[in-house]
Amino acid sequence: MIKILKKYEDAIYSLAAILLAFLVGAVLIQLSGFSVIKAYTALFDGAFGSVFNLTQTFMNTIPLIFTGLAVAIGFKSGLFNIGGEGQMYLGAFATAITAIYLGFLPGYILIPLALIMGGFAGSAWGFLPGYLKAKTGAHEVVTTIMMNYIGILATSYLLLKYFKEEGPIPQTVLIPESARLPELIEYSRLTWAIFIAVFVIIIIDIFFKHTKLGYEIQTVGENRSAAEYAGINSNKMMVFSMMISGFVAGLAGSTIVMGVLHRFITNFSPGYGFTGIAVAVLGKNKPWGVFFAAILFGALQTGGITMQLFAKIPMDLMVVIQGLVILFVAAPILIKKLLRK
Amino acid sequence: MNNLFGLYNPEEGEIFLRGKPCKIDNPSKAIKLGLGMIHQHFMLIDRLTTTENIIVGEEPLKNGLIDMRKAREQVKQISNKYHLTVKTDERIENISVGEQQRVEILKVLYRKAEILIFDEPTAVLTPQEVNNLFTTLRELKAGGKTIIFITHKLEETMKISDRVTVLRKGKVIGTVNTYDTNPKKLARMMVGREVLLNVNKEKGNVGDNVLEVKNLSLAGKHKNLLLKNIDITIRKGEIVGIAGVSGNGQLELEECIAGLRKVTSGKIILDDVDITHASTGIRRKRGLSHIPSDRLKRGLVPSYDLAKNIILGSQNSFTKNGFLQKNDINEYCKKVVEKFDVRCQSLNDTVDNLSGGNQQKLVIGRELSTDPKFILAAQPTRGVDVGAIEFIHKNILEMRKQNKAILLISAELEELLSLADKILVIYEGEIVSKKNNYTKEELGLLMAGKKVSAEEKLETGNSIQND
Amino acid sequence: MKKVFVTMLILVFAVCVFAETNVAIVFATGGLGDKSFNDAAMEGMKMAKKQYAIEYDFAEPSAITEYETYLAQFANSEKYDLIISIGFDQADALTKISERFPKQNFAIIDMVVMNPNVASYVFKEQERGFMVGYASALMTVKTDDVRINEDKIVGVIGGMKIPLIDANIAGFMTGVNYADNGVKAIHSYVGHWADPAKGKELTLSMYEQGADIVWGAAGRSGLGVINASKEKNFYSIGADSDQGYLAPENVLTNGMKRVDNTVCIAIKDVIDGKFEGKIYSLGIKEDALGYSVNILPEDVISELEIVKKKIIAGEIEIPATIEEVK
């Protein structure tokens, strides 16, 4: 029994943190003069209450799976990749341009190609901070933040300069039908991207559990001295992990372009790259942990809409609950103490 | 002991203090009850002065501010009483290890501790410093203090204690009066069977040169030389020992040979190939094995399970098409764990759950199982119990029998004297002496930087092995 | 057509029975407090509530991807007589959602969505251009004002060379010519909607050429125009909303786009049962475009009121492209 508990220790603490966050959230809702029951009913209903709501939850979950995974992969080698946002913009941009300019290709070639180009673009954006860290020791937190600005503004510049659609909106033309990911349910915008996301989770899980490269990257993250002692080139591993991380973050952008927006638009992201950090923290940097954490955040986002629309509770309270979840996860000592008493 | 000091909470049982049962669930309570602990790894703040370290948490106040003059006075008073001399205004980072330990002792005395718990206090000290410590302990005892002295060194137990309680695998094996016992008996209690305190050193078949270190130097941050013109040659079937007080360049030498540090000048040749600038990975491929002096920092990934730790460094030979071969790994790991007697519940246990001795056996098992040509063994028995020491020594000698070349860097004189074919003494980064036979006293003086000429040679002392 | 007719019938019926109209509005991603479109639209909702006793709900999406979700949630509830989209970047989402809910009435402002259940409200941009152009021409000859120089030159800076901006510029030039007092209008483009630095640079270069009144029809880049006028103490003209607070001494007037009135118009059409899925071009006549008083002198205002009446009466023809300006 204790052994089983130990195995799921992380999951249990995360669940406790979520519960606690909702409890504190309830107090805040009550204090703000709203009905807790009404609020949480609307929240749950909005996230899971109907097939359509469920599809919206999963639609919101997909980019968070990718950006959350990206942060988790960085963590594996001991690096804190805050650059998911910029890597995602690069990915989205590369995917859109590929899909538009190679639109004559059939879908079964174009879709994988556009995805891979998006991944590579994100990967290139991850490579740079990794390389700088390895060569000069420049701290990745600083460089990835900088790379976010450069990425977001550079794509915006290129768009306006070379790829903008006629008209007032800073966006590309629509990508061809053949490059769009098919919807699972009509009008839901929930597309095959969910399968791509799950596929990537499986690959990353296997990668870290069963491959040599995955093992070496993790060893660098767990104990860099020991890795060097064991003949592992830790610099190389850090660059690799940043590239893989960037690739996955790039896919977040690719799937948004191919599944939701069908074009690249400047400032399309409400900060998926940053929410990814929270998702990774809640998911304890484990691929499947990230999956469930992303669903939670996707559900809060989607349910929050209903809560705002029909229970008239401001969206900000949703953001507060999200913040509380992270606070309680990041403060496991506090939780452990509370549980002991 | 951490239980006693309130760092861990016991599952069951009671602690009695002065005849009364008491519950100690945190260190501050332990302190209140008059307990004081001197940890093996000092709990000091490097950037603060000795006085500040001593009073931290219990500062004498004046108008809400720390009364430094009073603090200094109090510290001086205690230090005079027990002859624990420390420089009151020097920063911790600038004082010797021995003095740091005195600060730790003052810290607990300042908190009015009546019962002092010492956890492996001699591990970091030179023989001379050990003597000073023992003098202090005797004075504390005379001053009415109770001392619990945790060690795995039989010699120290015999020298300093009045009564000995032997623990094995978390159980009390017995308590004896020191004058009723002897090292042999104690060793038997500790290990549970007869222990050979004397290793039988068979002559190995000394052959060709395997490792040559030629004129190796290493410059530090401020251009000072950490290693000076070091020459070492190790042949097949030979154990060469490096003796020295810790901090005289052993760690640097270890890291240079292992490839963890770039040498400033000189050459390292392994099996006729120049590996001076080769990476750790290439050195391993060429047949170098390395038992690191700091097993937790270098040798192990504590959060990994046993299997993942055992393939550390040889992960390439368990990889097929980029994938780790789980079955091969498990089979191999089972063998290593069995052969090197690593006690664990399963290969999936994380290594941080193992005892220090088992961790070390794991490292040694891993490093000796790869069929190396040369073994760099740094402090291979640091912090492990006598049973494990015996086992490790046996295995190192076994390696010599198999014609491996071995460099043994150790702070344990007995270990060097009983295992090494040749001993080099390192002092301030220089090899100051190279001989086949030394007495303990000779070594001790050489390590302390005193040149010993043939005439000055001291009489052979009784080492405890010969009891 | 029949479909529209039936929808209208139902709507009229609904209005009669419940005597209450429900309207939902989805704001642009900037959210409330943007001192621009969203805030103006909110004003319109409040006005409509007062005038027509409607009930309304609103949504503030934080991302472009959320437009569809909000629109769908509103439409799906089948509670609203009209759902209004604010901002041109909702066009993609509204196109899809209006197809999916063909019985729901939608309106979009400042953009066109060609579906039978979407009323698109766009503006006769040239009309406000005409008003501020005319005002500029009257002002630049008042040389006793310290902010006015001897040269009879006024300028207009567009955000980008697109038809919408060119209509403004064409209106401006026509307005200047209409004053018929030898004033010359010059123009240029920033090439970006959010580059105040470039906007300022262009404005200063116009000032060097002798222009003492410059209109910035350039989104956020227009802030640079106002900044330049404040720095060198000449006149600037704002766009869309009243930007006088940015430089009270220098912002002469504003080419107003009355989103609030437009929202009211859209709601009134639904209440009157006149909803139609077509493009509405609004202008001075509907009070959807106009100018603000700010620091305009009395005589200029009265002149402006006269031409305003003429525009409403259709007596002045204002071309929508620069090429057509004589």
- Return the CATH number at B339: 3.40.50.300
pLDDT tens digits for B4-24?
Answer: 666 666 667 778 888 788 877
What is the overall mean pLDDT for chain B? 84
Q: Average of pLDDT values for C284-303? A: 93
Q: State the Cα–Cα distance between residues B359 and B342, nearest whole angstrom.
A: 8
In chain C, the number of structural domains is 2
Which CATH number goes with the domain that contains C52?
3.40.50.2300
What is the overall mean pLDDT for chain C? 89
C101 and C57 in a single domain? The answer is yes
CA distances from B322 to B18, B389, C91, C291 (A): 63, 38, 49, 71
Say whether C7 sits in a helix, a strand or coil. Answer: helix
**Last residue in a domain, options B150, B182, B198:** B150
C306 and C186 in a single domain? The answer is yes
Do residues A84 and A157 lie in contact, with contact meaning Cβ atoms separated by under 8 Å? no
pLDDT of B94 reads 78
Smallest CA–CA distance, residue C64 to chain A, in Å, is 6
**Last residue in a domain, options B108, B131, B150:** B150
Packing angle, helices C66-76 and A287-310, rounded to 10 = 50
C222 and C319 in a single domain? The answer is yes
Please report whether residue B176 resides in a domain.
no
Chain A residues within 8 A of B315 when measuring between CB atoms? 212, 215-216, 230
C188 and C317 in a single domain? The answer is yes
The verdict on a CB contact (< 8 Å) between B280 and A213 is no
Residues 6+ away with beta carbon under 8 Å from C213 = C136, C139, C140, C154, C155, C234, C235, C236, C237, C252
Confidence of residue A101 (pLDDT cuts 50, 70, 90): very high
Higher pLDDT, B64 or A283: A283
Q: Average of pLDDT values for B119-133? A: 77
Please report whether residue C287 resides in a domain.
no
Among the partner residues A213, A215, A226, nearest to B299 by beta-carbon distance: A226
pLDDT tens digits for B294-345?
Answer: 888 889 998 899 999 999 988 988 999 999 999 999 999 999 999 998 988 8
pLDDT of B455 reads 38
Higher pLDDT, B116 or C12: B116
In chain B, the number of structural domains is 2
B237 and B131 in a single domain? The answer is no
The verdict on a CB contact (< 8 Å) between B312 and A216 is no
Please report whether residue C291 resides in a domain.
no
| Owner of token pair 């089979």 | B331
Which of B72-86, B177-191, C112-126, C303-317 has the lowest average pLDDT? B177-191
Best B256, B294, B315 member to test A by mutation, with max A CBs in 10 Å, is B315
C163 and C212 in a single domain? The answer is yes
Chain B residues within 8 A of A229 when measuring between CB atoms? 258, 260, 280, 290, 292, 298-299, 313
Among the partner residues A166, A265, A306, nearest to C73 by beta-carbon distance: A306
B128 and B213 in a single domain? The answer is no
pLDDT of C87 reads 83
Cβ pairs A/B, distance under 8 A: 64
Confidence of residue B67 (pLDDT cuts 50, 70, 90): confident
Range of the domain at C16: 2-123+259-282
C136 and C246 in a single domain? The answer is yes
Please report whether residue B191 resides in a domain.
no
Chain C contact for A305 (CB, 8 A cutoff): yes
B101 and B231 in a single domain? The answer is no
Please report whether residue B172 resides in a domain.
no
B108 and B241 in a single domain? The answer is no
B144 and B288 in a single domain? The answer is no
C15 and C40 in a single domain? The answer is yes
Chain A contact for C74 (CB, 8 A cutoff): yes
Backbone dihedral angles phi then psi of residue B407, each to the nearest 5 degrees: -110, 120
pLDDT tens digits for C13-39?
Answer: 554 445 588 999 999 887 887 777 888
Q: To the nearest whole percent, how much of chain A has pLDDT over 70? A: 95
C195 pLDDT more than 80: yes
Chain C residues within 8 A of A167 when measuring between CB atoms? 88, 162
pLDDT tens digits for A164-214?
Answer: 887 777 899 999 999 999 999 888 889 999 999 999 999 999 999 999 999
Q: Give which of B191, B169, B189 is closest to B390, Cα–Cα.
A: B191
B265 pLDDT more than 50: yes
C199 and C317 in a single domain? The answer is yes
pLDDT tens digits for C196-255?
Answer: 899 999 999 999 999 999 999 988 889 999 999 999 999 999 998 889 999 999 999 999
Chain A contact for C161 (CB, 8 A cutoff): no
C182 and C315 in a single domain? The answer is yes
Smallest CA–CA distance, residue A255 to chain C, in Å, is 12
C144 and C242 in a single domain? The answer is yes
Best A43, A258, A309, A316 member to test C by mutation, with max C CBs in 10 Å, is A309
The verdict on a CB contact (< 8 Å) between A265 and C164 is no
Please report whether residue B173 resides in a domain.
no
The verdict on a CB contact (< 8 Å) between A229 and B301 is no
Confidence of residue B464 (pLDDT cuts 50, 70, 90): very low
Higher pLDDT, C40 or B153: C40
C20 and C113 in a single domain? The answer is yes
Please report whether residue C288 resides in a domain.
no
The verdict on a CB contact (< 8 Å) between A231 and B324 is no
Range of the domain at B450: 209-466
Q: State the Cα–Cα distance between residues B439 and B442, nearest whole angstrom.
A: 5
B317 and B440 in a single domain? The answer is yes
C152 and C226 in a single domain? The answer is yes
B253 and B351 in a single domain? The answer is yes
H/E segment holding residue C210: none
pLDDT of B452 reads 52
